[in-house]
Amino acid sequence: AQSVSQHNHHVILSEAASLELGCNYSYGGTVNLFWYVQYPGQHLQLLLKYFSGDPLVKGIKGFEAEFIKSKFSFNLRKPSVQWSDTAEYFCAVSQWGGKLIFGQGTELSVKP
């Protein structure tokens, strides 16, 4: 069965530190990949997405993610985090029909 794994459940960083959140999936066919973010008290928002083309995808708020097909990975990165990046981050993979499979989520806490 298709699955998505996020290895870090909780990450704590200081402001200005670099961020990388891991995401691996277990689907061998063509995939579309997403990162969603949920800020405290808010609903899920799309951060960035990959469908095809350049495997390095840039999203909002300085985030980017790299699709590495050979590693079945789609890691999220940001060179310098801010306190306002404190949130929960979800990686997701989609297949035909719009069905999204989500990872368990990674809680990011940024200390000022």
Partner 1 sequence: DAGVIQSPRHEVTEMGQEVTLRCKPISGHDYLFWYRQTMMRGLELLIYFNNNVPIDDSGMPEDRFSAKMPNASFSTLKIQPSEPRDSAVYFCASSLSGVANEKLFFGSGTQLSVL
Binding interface with partner 1 (CB under 8 A):
6, 32, 36, 42-46, 49, 51, 90, 92, 94-105
Minimum gap (Å) between residue 56 Cβ and partner 1: 18
CB of 97 to partner 1, least distance (A): 5
Positions of E strands within the chain: 4-5, 10-14, 19-21, 24-25, 32-38, 45-50, 56-58, 64-68, 73-78, 87-94, 100-102, 106-111
Nearer to partner 1 by Cβ, of 92 and 110: the residue is: 92
C-alpha distances in angstroms, 59 versus 3, 66, 91? 23, 11, 13
**CA dist., res. 12 & res. 46, Å (int):** 22
Q: Of 39 and 83, which CB lies nearer to partner 1 in the complex structure?
A: 39
Q: Which is nearer to partner 1, 2 or 17 (CB)?
A: 2
Q: Closest separation between CB of residue 16 and partner 1, Å?
A: 29
